[in-house]
Structure 1
Amino acid sequence: MKENKINILVADDDADIREILEILLKAEGFDVIMASDGKKAIELVDENIDLIILDVAMPEKNGFQVCKEIRNVSIAPILFLTAKGMESDKAIGFSAGGDDYMVKPFSNAELIFRVKALLRRCYHYQPFNKEKKNIYKIDNIIMDDNTKSVTVDNIPITLTPIEYDILCLMMRYPNKVFSVQNLYESIWSQDYSYLDNNTIVVHISNLRKKIEKDPKNPQHLKSMWGRGYYVGESNKVF
């Protein structure tokens, strides 16, 4: 994260919600950029945006569509803020590249907590800071934890912060089976209560689409029925 003020983009077509969020976020010392529709939100995203809060039901483009387009240019954490609370809606949000999901009406204190948790996890929290960061390799996949980059067949791929943390954790501990709860405790730390299996399942599915030649028949990020997920043996390069 940059040394200057944190920039948060808020996209919501409800003027009252935008005003509330602006007051809450500015009170915490954040700079706030506003968009009243999905198209404008996409136009405002650049390397200076540190976090994005997206409403789902917006004119021009809905939040899920906006999230997918933003993920082509930014890995800034995305928090969905919406009146929809169905599990299927959450799955769509995570599949689009979102990092967290809150349902309206929301608690002001919880919203600030989640914003800070996302910022801390994505920019400050280093789950593997007890050891020197390394470069790991599994067949055609190379992860450089010094630069937070991943290549497949020497081609750079873009991962969200959560996808990166999941893959990094598994590549550091090859052949170790991580249950869904293990992954929550390792990646989300104490920032979130344990929710449901679907969140992790969606992130694993997204990861497989990016690193596997055949995501339906994964050769690297594997499942052990009834126990969890693991990656095959990795070779530490450095």
Structure 2
Amino acid sequence: MEQNARPSQGTILVVDDEPDIVSLLEEYFSSQGFRVLTALDGETALKRAEHSPDLIVLDVGMPFMDGYAVCRRLREHLSCPIVFLTARVEDVDALEGFEAGADDYVLKPFSLAVLGARVRAHLARESRHQAKAEVRFDGDLVIDYRARTVQVAGTPVELTRREFDIAAFLAKHAGQVFERERIHERVGGWENESDPQVVTEHIRRIRKKLAAAGLAHDPIETIWGMGYKWRA
């Protein structure tokens, strides 16, 4: 269930295959002023994550796609805090969670007060880092990942949603080479654009728009026979 308004507290995505836990957390966080998105399985969680939640509470022990797999998929696109809910206490499980991209974990059965405190602490820390969402590159190129904007020497560059996703993905992994197929897979959400060849056309348009805005150098390097990389 989604609330219509977006309270100032932010948005939390709650993912658990137990409906009672989802309902409990939805009621609790809603009462605390949060907008709450919910999912009972991994696939639904990935779709809900398209709404850019500020924090995700994610159960580990789900069937079909467990929390570790969901977390890895989410980390391809999202940097928000992810808090695992888990009944496993072994160190190896905690380590696997952190390696998958989790920021914290809370053991079941859990205290709502403790979970709420953990969530607020992570959101407060994230708020302090918001200024870092804006990254400046050579040639007065600035990408604001949170606002999803690009500027060259203060001039806005109007990229489409897909163009921004590709530029942001490459910029976040500066120096790494990605094949077209890999970019197509990692960026995701292509709808009718099922052919990885479209990546080449999007990159051509990104380059053209950046150059038209006055950027002297091309930040995206073509590595012939291999793919593309953002110049580090």
Tell me what 1:17 maps to.
21
**CA drift at 1:20:** 1.2
The code of the aligned residue for 2:123 comes to L
Q: Does 1:36 align with 2:51?
A: no
Percent identical pairs in the alignment equals 38
Query: What aligned pairs does 1:214-229 form with structure 2 within 5 A after superposition?
Result: none
Tell me what 1:80 maps to.
84
Q: Does 1:156 align with 2:139?
A: no
**CA drift at 1:59:** 2.1
Match of 2:122 among 90, 94, 118: 118
Give the whole-Å Cα distance in 1 for the aligned partners of 2:67 and 2:74.
10
List per-residue Cα deviations over 1:32-71 (Å, max 9, x = no partner).
1110011110111125311101000112200000000001
Q: Does 1:8 align with 2:12?
A: yes
Gap change, CA 1:47 and 1:124, over 3 Å in 2: farther
Task: Give the structure-1-normalised TM-score.
Answer: 0.53
Match of 1:51 among 52, 55, 64: 55
Higher helix share: 2
List per-residue Cα deviations over 1:101-144 (Å, max 9, x = no partner).
1100111111000000111111236799xxxx99799xxxxxx9
Tell me what 2:109 maps to.
105
Query: What aligned pairs does 1:140-179 form with structure 2 within 5 A after superposition?
Result: 156-157=171-172
Unaligned residue ranges in structure 2 (runs of 5+): 1-5, 147-169, 175-232
Q: CA RMSD in A?
A: 3.1
Unaligned residue ranges in structure 1 (runs of 5+): 138-143, 150-154, 160-238
| Bigger radius of gyration | 2
Give the whole-Å Cα distance in 1 for the aligned partners of 2:113 and 2:96.
26
Give the whole-Å Cα distance in 1 for the aligned partners of 2:107 and 2:50.
26
Task: Give the structure-2-normalised TM-score.
Answer: 0.54
Gap change, CA 1:134 and 1:79, over 3 Å in 2: closer
Aligned 8 A contact 1:39 1:60 in 2: no
Worse-superposed segment, 43-52 or 3-12: 3-12
Aligned 8 A contact 1:6 1:31 in 2: yes
Higher RCO (CA 8 Å, separation ≥ 6 residues): 1
Give the whole-Å Cα distance in 2 for the aligned partners of 1:24 and 1:112.
9
Gap change, CA 1:94 and 1:158, over 3 Å in 2: farther
Secondary structure of the residue aligned to 1:32 is strand
The code of the aligned residue for 1:60 comes to F
Q: What is the aligned residue count?
A: 143
Give the whole-Å Cα distance in 1 for the aligned partners of 2:142 and 2:89.
35
